[in-house]
């Protein structure tokens, strides 16, 4: 489950996305340069092989560690895309291009939002979408919707099997795991699964916030929204009732594993990414397609104690045990730092280093965080995720002592 928002104003476009996936499904930032390919070259996507384009654009991707495709990203031309799972009445194919594959292919092959719509719809009609999209349940699959933006405008693109509908965006527009474009929505929506995903509730929240958004800081706040002052837990789907999603339900579970904000205009393009889970506990750092960073080893679904994503998890998982105590504890420092960066962005490498030092400090403060105040079903869910990730106890994890376990 995810939430994506775009705001089209005269002369500029704002974009934001939370990528919600399984809690241990680490996500990484990955840079790929512009490339030229020989005629007849092929490309292996997540589940199948397709003809390669003659030339691909440079891209920056935020992608789950195990798949070829990406949840969100940007290319050298200022094109940005985010996708959403949608549940429809159309059959789900056992193999095909995943929504994440389609997103990456559009970034690599299109220079504008309109061209990206064409790339995705041609692949959808010619190859089709399908294949497993889940990490814990690899067979879990869905269809997709997309928000596609460039410095001059944006489009919503929604799909059901090989059917699709697109609409140019005017003003604020958000998508949240449910079809919205007619007649596709009335014809194809799986209403029960859309309801279980709390799609309409979250979209109501994001749409209201996006309508008021004036800058990147507002879009970051949109992604951090819990629907109130505190995280609201449901036995059905954990804390999925607001954009900043936290897993811990008995039926549906999803966790925000990475977040992204972009400011686009014909004069300048700026991107901000967390590279870590839970935007409520993360810092948005400046990133650029043309400025690749060495961020260390790529994470997996095991706590390595060293990668960017898992270092942050030590803080995130300690803080969420008692978020009413710990989130206000660091919010003032985080907001002050981001305000400075938004006014005058530092070099990305310096920003990641400074943010990393702050996360280490917050982790030490939260060591031995005390009682877990989440509902009993949420506590049980997270204990199992920690076990699967081979995570140490809170105190050991905070100190960086993680037990070794073969993958």
Give the per-residue pLDDT at 34.
Answer: 97
Q: Is 2 a catalytic residue?
A: yes
Exposure class string for 231-269: b at 16+ Cβ within 10 A, else e = bebbeebbbbbbbbbbbbbeebbbbbbbbbbbbbeeeeb
Nearest residue to 295 via CA among 313, 275, 273, 315:
275
Give the per-residue pLDDT at 249.
Answer: 85
Give the per-residue pLDDT at 199.
Answer: 80
- Please tell me the total number of residues recorded for the chain in this structure: 407
Phi, psi of 297 (to 5 degrees): -65, 145
Token pair in block for residue 368 = 């031995």
pLDDT, one tens digit for every residue, the chain (407 residues):
789 999 999 999 999 999 999 999 999 999 999 999 999 999 999 999 999 999 999 999 999 999 999 999 999 999 999 999 999 999 999 899 999 999 999 999 999 999 999 999 999 999 999 999 999 988 889 999 999 999 999 999 999 999 999 999 999 999 998 999 999 999 998 888 888 877 888 888 999 999 999 999 999 999 999 988 788 888 888 788 889 999 998 887 889 999 999 999 999 999 999 999 999 999 999 999 999 999 999 999 999 999 999 999 999 999 999 988 888 878 999 999 999 999 999 999 999 999 999 999 999 988 876 789 999 999 999 999 999 998 644 433 333 333 332 22
Give the per-residue pLDDT at 227.
Answer: 85
Q: Is the bond preceding residue 183 a cis peptide, omega within 30 degrees?
A: yes
Give the per-residue pLDDT at 8.
Answer: 97
Q: Which residues contact 236 (CB under 8 A, 6 or more apart)?
A: 196, 249, 250, 251, 252
CB of 266 closer than 8 Å to CB of 251: no
C-alpha–C-alpha distance, residues 23 and 240, integer Å:
13
Instruction: Tell whether domain 2-298 is in CATH 3.60.60.10.
Output: yes
Q: Which of 2, 45, 133, 244 is labelled catalytic?
A: 2
Give the per-residue pLDDT at 391.
Answer: 66
Q: Where are the domains of the chain?
A: 2-298
Give the per-residue pLDDT at 298.
Answer: 94
Crossing angle of the two packed helices 323-343 and 308-319, in degrees rounded to 10: 140
């Amino acid at each position: 489950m995810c939430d994506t928002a775009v705001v089209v104003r005269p002369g500029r476009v704002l974009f934001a996305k939370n990528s919600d996936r399984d809690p241990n499904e680490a996500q990484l930032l990955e840079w790929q340069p512009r490339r030229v390919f020989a005629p007849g070259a092929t490309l292996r996507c997540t589940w199948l092989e397709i003809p390669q384009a003659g030339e691909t654009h440079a891209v920056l991707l935020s992608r789950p560690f195990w798949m070829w495709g990406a949840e969100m990203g940007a290319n050298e031309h200022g094109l940005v895309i985010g996708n959403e799972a949608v549940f429809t009445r159309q059959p789900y194919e056992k193999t095909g291009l995943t929504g994440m594959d389609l997103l990456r292919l559009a970034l690599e092959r299109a220079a504008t939002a309109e061209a990206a719509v064409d790339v995705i719809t041609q692949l959808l009609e010619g190859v089709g979408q399908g294949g497993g999209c889940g990490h814990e349940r690899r067979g879990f699959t869905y269809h997709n919707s997309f928000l596609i933006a460039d410095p001059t405008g944006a489009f919503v693109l929604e799909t059901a099997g090989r059917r699709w509908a697109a609409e140019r965006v005017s003003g604020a527009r958000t998508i949240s795991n449910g079809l919205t474009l007619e007649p596709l929505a009335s014809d194809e929506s799986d209403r029960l699964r859309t309801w279980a995903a709390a799609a309409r509730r979250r979209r109501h929240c994001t749409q209201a916030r996006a309508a008021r958004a004036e800058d990147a800081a507002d879009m970051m706040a949109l992604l951090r929204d819990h629907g109130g002052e505190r995280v609201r837990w449901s036995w059905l789907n954990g804390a999925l009732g607001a954009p900043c999603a936290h897993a811990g339900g008995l039926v549906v579970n999803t966790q925000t594993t990475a977040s992204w904000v972009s400011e686009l205009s014909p004069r300048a393009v700026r991107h901000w990414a967390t590279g870590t889970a839970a935007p409520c506990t993360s810092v948005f750092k400046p990133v650029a397609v043309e400025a690749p960073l060495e961020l260390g080893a790529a994470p997996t679904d095991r706590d390595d104690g060293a990668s960017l994503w898992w270092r942050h998890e030590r803080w995130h998982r300690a803080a969420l045990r008692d978020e009413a105590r710990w989130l206000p504890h660091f919010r003032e420092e985080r907001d002050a730092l981001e305000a400075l960066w938004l006014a005058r962005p530092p070099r990305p490498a310096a920003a990641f280093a400074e943010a990393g030092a702050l996360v280490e400090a917050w982790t030490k403060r939260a060591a031995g965080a005390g009682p877990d105040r989440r509902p009993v079903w949420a506590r049980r869910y997270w204990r199992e995720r920690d076990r699967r990730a081979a995570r140490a106890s809170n105190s050991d994890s905070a100190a960086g002592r993680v037990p070794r376990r073969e993958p």
